[in-house]
Amino acid sequence: DGLTIDELFDRTMGLTYNDFNIFPGYIDFPVHQVDLSTKLTRLINLKTPLISSPMDTVTESEMAIAMALHGGIGIIHANFATVEEQAAEVSKVKRYKQGFITNPQCIKPTDTVRDLMLIKAKYGFTGTPVTDTGVVGGKLLGLVTSRDVDFIQENRYAITTINDVMVPRERLIIGNESMTLQEAYTILENKKRGKLPIVDGNDCLISLIARTDLKKSRDFPLSSYDLKGQLMVGAAINTRENAKEAVKKLAEAGVDVLVIDSSQGASNYQIALLKWIKEKYPTYPQIVAGNVVTMRQAKFLIDAGADAIRVGMGSGSICITQEVMAVGRAQGTAVYQVARYARSRGVPIVADGGIRDVGYITKALSLGASTVMMGGLLAGTNEAPGEYFWGPSGVRLKKYRGMGSIDAMEAHVSSQERYLVESDAIKVAQGVTATMRDRGSIHKFVPYLYRGVQHGFQDIGVRSITELQEGVYGGKVKFERRSPNAQAEGGVHSLHSYDRQLY
Ligand code: XMP
Cβ–Cβ under 8 Å, residues 68 and 74: yes
Which residues neighbour 207 within 8 Å (Cβ) at sequence distance 6 or greater?
A: 95, 97, 100, 101, 102, 104, 136, 197, 198
How remote is the C-alpha of 433 from its chain's centroid? 19
**Residue 214: is its pLDDT beyond 70?**
no
The closest of 232, 215, 220 to 40, measured between CA atoms, is: 232
**pLDDT at 238 (0 to 100):** 93
Q: Is 418 a catalytic residue?
A: yes
pLDDT by residue (tens digit) across 160-174?
999 999 999 999 999
**Residue 210: is its pLDDT beyond 90?**
no
Confidence band (pLDDT; 50, 70, 90) for 487? very high
Q: Is 55 in the pocket of ligand 1 (CB under 6 A)?
A: yes
Confidence band (pLDDT; 50, 70, 90) for 197? very high
**pLDDT at 104 (0 to 100):** 85
Q: Is ipTM > 0.90 here?
A: yes
H or E element that contains 479: strand 479-481
**Residue 77: is its pLDDT beyond 70?**
yes
Q: Is 328 in the pocket of ligand 1 (CB under 6 A)?
A: no
Residue 394 marked in a binding site: no
Ligand 1 centre from 418 Cα, in Å? 11
Ligand 1 centre from 160 Cα, in Å? 49
Q: Is 310 a catalytic residue?
A: no
The closest of 482, 477, 459 to 467, measured between CA atoms, is: 477
**Residue 215: is its pLDDT beyond 90?**
no
CA 244, 247, 248, 249: dihedral to nearest 10 degrees? 120
**pLDDT at 125 (0 to 100):** 65
For the CA of 373, the closest atom of ligand 1 is 24
How remote is the C-alpha of 359 from its chain's centroid? 19
Q: Is 368 in the pocket of ligand 1 (CB under 6 A)?
A: no
CA 371 – CA 347 distance, rounded (Å)? 12
For the CA of 356, the closest atom of ligand 1 is 2
Helix (H, G, I), strand (E, B) or coil at 43: coil
Q: Is 321 in the pocket of ligand 1 (CB under 6 A)?
A: yes
**Strand ranges in 110-242 using DSSP code E only, listed in sequence order:** 127-131, 140-145, 167-168, 175-176, 195-199, 205-210, 234-237
Confidence band (pLDDT; 50, 70, 90) for 489? very high
Confidence band (pLDDT; 50, 70, 90) for 12? confident
Q: Is 376 in the pocket of ligand 1 (CB under 6 A)?
A: yes
Ligand 1 centre from 213 Cα, in Å? 35
Lowest-confidence range among 70-84, 158-172, 422-436?
422-436
Residue of 238, 318, 433 to mutate, ligand 1, most atoms within 8 A of C-beta: 318
**pLDDT at 122 (0 to 100):** 74
Residue of 51, 52, 55, 377 to mutate, ligand 1, most atoms within 8 A of C-beta: 55
For the CA of 317, the closest atom of ligand 1 is 2
Residue type, 86: Q
Confidence band (pLDDT; 50, 70, 90) for 74? very high
**Residue 414: is its pLDDT beyond 70?**
no
pLDDT by residue (tens digit) across 419-429?
667 666 778 88
Q: Which of 319, 329, 340, 439 is catalytic?
A: 319
Tell me the mean pLDDT in the region 289-306.
98
Residue 431 marked in a binding site: no
**Residue 55: is its pLDDT beyond 80?**
yes
Ligand 1 centre from 110 Cα, in Å? 44
**pLDDT at 415 (0 to 100):** 67
Q: Is 456 in the pocket of ligand 1 (CB under 6 A)?
A: no
Residue 263 marked in a binding site: yes
Q: Is 352 in the pocket of ligand 1 (CB under 6 A)?
A: yes
> What residue's CA is closest to ligand 1, atom 5?
376
Lowest-confidence range among 111-120, 337-346, 467-476?
111-120
Ligand 1 centre from 323 Cα, in Å? 14
Q: Is 316 in the pocket of ligand 1 (CB under 6 A)?
A: yes
Lowest-confidence range among 138-147, 181-190, 351-360, 439-448?
181-190
pLDDT above 70 coverage of the chain, percent: 96
> Which of 274-283, 321-330, 489-498 reaches the highest mean pLDDT?
274-283
Q: Is 403 in the pocket of ligand 1 (CB under 6 A)?
A: yes
pLDDT by residue (tens digit) across 341-381?
999 999 999 999 999 999 999 999 999 999 999 999 999 99
Ligand 1 centre from 48 Cα, in Å? 21
Ligand 1 centre from 124 Cα, in Å? 35
Q: Is 430 in the pocket of ligand 1 (CB under 6 A)?
A: yes
Residue 404 marked in a binding site: yes
Answer with the residue of higher pLDDT: 316 or 121: 316
Task: State the pTM of this model.
Answer: 0.85
Residue 316 marked in a binding site: yes
Which residues neighbour 497 within 8 Å (Cβ) at sequence distance 6 or greater?
A: none
H or E element that contains 437: strand 433-437
How remote is the C-alpha of 402 from its chain's centroid? 15
**pLDDT at 189 (0 to 100):** 85
**Residue 488: is its pLDDT beyond 90?**
yes
The closest of 375, 262, 377 to 321, measured between CA atoms, is: 262
